[in-house]
Amino acid sequence: MLKLLFLSTPVGPLGSGMGGGVELTLLNLAQEMGRRGHRVKVVAPENSVVSEVSCQEISGTWQDTIQNNHRDAPIVLPKNSVLGNMWDYAGRVEKDYDLIINFAFDWLPFYLTPFFTTPIAHLISMGSTTDAFDEVMNRVAKQYPNTMGVHTHAQGQTFPFNDICRVLGNGLNLSLYNYCDSPDNCLAWVGRIAPEKALEDAIEASKIVNIPLKIFGKVTDEKYWQTIRQNYPDGSYQYEGFFNTIELQEKLGRCKALLMTPRWIEAFGNVAVEALACGVPVIAYSRGGPAEIVQHEKTGFLVEPDSISGLVDGINRVDTIDRKQCRQQAEKEYSLQALGERFEGWFYELVKQE
Ligand code: UDP
C-alpha cells in the first residue's frame, strides 16, 4: 500500500473546468489508486468538488492559464498564490507520504523538487510552452530520471528531455459513459473555449455541411469567445454549457461525431476518448494526442491539420464508421484499470528508487 499525495492544478478548483483535462485525469487516478488499496490525499484549490477521496482545500489566488504565453514569458506568481500555498502544505506533510504527484504545469513544483525529501512524480499535462518552464523541467529530468510522465509521444517530443519521458497514455471510468447507437443530426465540439482549440474551424465546417454544432465546455478565454460570437452571428451553432461527466456523456453520445480542431500540440485530448466511449466517431486534425488515439477510417478520421475541407470530408463520410468499434476501442485501450496498472508500476519504481 502506498501513501500518495496528489497536488492539483493551481488554475482553479477541481470541477470548475478551468484546469481542462487535468481535472478529470487527477480525479480518475485518485479513484483508481484508492480502489487498488492505496491511500490517496488530494491537495487542491478551495471549493474543489472531489468525491470518494479525501481532499485538503487550500485558499489563495489562482495561477493564470499559460497556454498562450510567448516562449520568453517570465515566471509569474501572484500575491497569496494558491500554488505557493499548496506546496507549503506539501512541505509540511511530506513525511507522511511515500510519493508526491504533481499535476501542475507550472514552474514552482519543479523548482522545489530538490528541496523535498519525499520523491515527486511530475505528470505533465501540456506540451512545451515557455523557455523558463523547459529549463526548470529539464533540470529536474536530468537530476531525477524517470520522474517525468507525459500522456503521448507527440507531447513528449515537444520537450528537450523527450528521451527520458515516461509515456503513460490516459484512461476513463468507462462505466460512467453509455454507448449510444442512434445519434441525432448534430455534431459536437467539446473543450475549453480558448484560442489553442480553434473552435472557429469546427463552426466553419459545420456550416458547410449544414449540420448544427453543439458546443460543450468552459469558456476560459472570454475575449476569444466574444470574437467568435461576433464573427459567427448566425446561430448555426449552439453553446450548450459546461457539464459534469454524467450529463456531458449523455449529450455527447447523441451527436453524430466529435470535431477536434486543436491548433496546438494537444497533450492527449480526454474528450476524444470520452466520445469514443459513447460510440461517437472522432474527426480530428492529425497532430498531437488525437493523432495517437483515433484509428483513421475505423473510429474516426484524421485530417490534414487546419484544413476545414478535411473536416468536411470526414463529416461526409462519418456514416461509414461503426459506432460499436468506437466503444470497443475505448474499452480495449482506455480503461481505468489499464491506466491504474501503468501508473502503479511507475509509482512503485519511484518509491523503490529512494
Ligand atoms: N469537460 C467537462 N464538461 C464539459 C466539457 C468538457 O467536464 O462540458 C471536460 C472533459 O471531460 C475533459 C476536459 O474538459 O476532461 C477537456 O480536456 P482535454 O484533455 O480534452 O483538453 P485540455 O483542456 O486539457 O486541453
**CATH (domain of 252):** 3.40.50.2000
Q: Which pLDDT belongs to residue 152?
A: 98
- The residues pairing with 148 across neighbouring beta strands, listed in sequence order, are 122
Pairing of strands 237-241, 258-260: unpaired
Q: Are residues 158 and 59 in the same domain?
A: yes
Residue 90's SS3 state is: helix
End-to-end CA distance of the chain: 16
pLDDT in tens, 111-122: 999 999 999 999
Q: Are residues 160 and 226 in the same domain?
A: no
Task: Give the distance (Å) from ligand 1 centre to CA of residue 217.
Answer: 7
Q: What is the pTM of this model?
A: 0.97
pLDDT in tens, 71-129: 999 999 999 999 999 999 999 999 999 999 999 999 999 999 999 999 999 999 999 99
- What ranges in the chain are assigned the alpha helix state H? 21-35, 82-93, 107-112, 131-143, 153-156, 199-209, 222-231, 245-253, 270-277, 288-293, 308-316, 323-333, 336-353
d(CA 246, CA 227): 30
Domain extent, residue 148, equals 3-169+335-353
Which of 11, 177, 271, 287, when mutated, tests ligand 1's pocket best, judged by the most ligand atoms within 8 Å of its CB? 271
Q: Which atom of ligand 1 is nearest to the CA of 245?
A: 7
Contact 10, 63 (CB under 8 A): yes
| pLDDT, average across residues 259-276 | 98
Of the candidates 267, 307, 312, the one whose C-alpha atom is nearest the C-alpha of residue 291 is 267
Q: Are residues 111 and 219 in the same domain?
A: no
Pocket lining for ligand 1, CB < 6 angstroms: 17, 20-22, 24, 190-192, 216-217, 242-243, 248, 268-271, 274
Q: Are residues 204 and 257 in the same domain?
A: yes
Task: Give the distance (Å) from ligand 1 centre to CA of residue 105.
Answer: 16
Q: Are residues 271 and 198 in the same domain?
A: yes
d(CA 17, CA 20): 5
Q: Which atom of ligand 1 is nearest to the CA of 243?
A: 8
Q: Are residues 125 and 160 in the same domain?
A: yes
Q: Which three cell numbers stand for residue 47?
A: 471549493
Q: Are residues 312 and 249 in the same domain?
A: yes
Nearest CA to ligand 1 atom 15: 21
Which of 66, 125, 270, 339, when mutated, tests ligand 1's pocket best, judged by the most ligand atoms within 8 Å of its CB? 270
pLDDT in tens, 311-340: 999 999 999 999 999 999 999 999 999 999
Q: Are residues 131 and 278 in the same domain?
A: no
Q: Are residues 268 and 126 in the same domain?
A: no
**Between 235 and 149, whose confidence is greater?**
149
Q: Are residues 141 and 281 in the same domain?
A: no
**Mean pLDDT score of the chain:** 97
d(CA 321, CA 349): 41
Task: Give the distance (Å) from ligand 1 centre to CA of residue 353.
Answer: 34
Total structural domains in the chain?
A: 2
Q: Which atom of ligand 1 is nearest to the CA of 268?
A: 19
Of the candidates 81, 97, 96, 102, the one whose C-alpha atom is nearest the C-alpha of residue 25 is 102
- The residues pairing with 172 across neighbouring beta strands, listed in sequence order, are 335
| pLDDT, average across residues 128-134 | 97
Q: Are residues 311 and 206 in the same domain?
A: yes
Q: Which pLDDT belongs to residue 353?
A: 77
Q: Are residues 190 and 297 in the same domain?
A: yes
Q: Which pLDDT belongs to residue 19?
A: 96
- For the cut 80, the answer to whether the pLDDT of residue 345 exceeds it is yes
